[in-house]
Amino acid sequence: MKNNINSMNKIVCLSFLLLAFFSCKHHESEYHSITDKIEAESKDYKGTSISSEAYIGDIKTIEVTEGEHTFLIPERKSQIKSYNCTECHTKPVSQMHSKDIKKAHWDIKLDHANANTMNCITCHDGSNMDNLTSLTGNTIDFNRSYNLCNQCHTKQFEDWKGGAHGKRIGGWAPPRASMTCVNCHDPHKPHFESRWPARFNTQKVKERN
């Protein structure tokens, strides 16, 4: 009986050894799974690696962290032609209203929410026009203007920071670089105009013929 138990123990131990031997990598070209193989052999494939850096190009970016997600977004301030705003807004907006002064920003029409809900000072800091302001009066940097949008558009913000909403810059490989709200939407008129799909655009068909 004792010999039978010893034999069974030996068989069990041998089985575990064989299982460990065949399931683990025992040659350089063999891995636990195809995913392990892809990851291992992609790290330095012919002197290159999988990265989106080459496709981000000359776009100036900054790194942000939202929750568990850290990624790159386009730097905003250098893209605003009239920034710094305080070059003209030398005084608070409340002190600059005058019938004798030519209206500034005449080309901007606010079509975001009705006038009872929103005006310029809802988003722009009237005492320091180089910054934006939250609904509770906190300062928001122009480079992080998405924090202004997420006060109302919470669902879209959660999707965006996780990578499901918005457009990627470069590709899906790391480092992640994502467009922000204002890179796709005009903040003063964020909705997109309705239009026919290109393939059913009869005017374009006529132009092409």
Whole-angstrom Cα distance, residue 183 to residue 128?
Answer: 23
Q: Locate 156 and state its tokens.
A: 């879209």
User: Would you state the pLDDT for residue 57?
Assistant: 84
Q: How far apart are CA 106 and CA 103, in angstroms?
A: 6
Tokens of residue 102, six digits: 């030519």
Domain ranges of the chain: 2-42, 53-97+104-193
pLDDT of residue 137: 94
Residue with tokens 């301030």: 77
DSSP 80-134: -TT-SGGGT--S-GGGT--TTSPPSSTT----SS-TTT--HHHHB-TT-TTSEE-
pLDDT the model gives residue 29:
57
Beta bridge partners of 124: 132
The reported pLDDT for the residue numbered 81 is 87
> CA–CA distance from 207 to each of 124, 194, 197, 201, 204 (Å)?
43, 20, 16, 10, 5
Task: Quote the CA–CA distance of 36 and 56 in Å, as a whole number.
Answer: 27
Predicted local confidence at residue 26, as pLDDT: 46
Q: What's residue 8's pLDDT?
A: 67
Q: Which ranges of the chain have pLDDT less than 50?
A: 25-26
Q: Decide if 134 contacts 148 (C-beta within 8 A).
A: yes
HSE (side-chain half, CA atoms, 13 Å) at 173: 12
Question: What's residue 116's pLDDT?
Answer: 87
What distance in Å separates the CA atoms of residue 94 and residue 128, rounded to the nearest whole number?
11
Q: Which of 182, 154, 180 is nearest to 169 (CA)?
A: 180
Cis check: omega of the bond before 84, within 30 degrees of 0: yes
Q: What is the pLDDT of residue 31?
A: 74
**What's the confidence (pLDDT) of residue 148?**
95
Q: What tens digit of pLDDT does each residue of 17-29 get?
A: 665 555 554 455 5
- The span from the CA of 17 to the CA of 24, in Å, is 11
Look at residue 68 in the predicted model and tell me its pLDDT: 93
Selection from 97, 153, 159, 88 nearest residue 123 by Cα? 153
The whole-number pLDDT of residue 9 equals 66
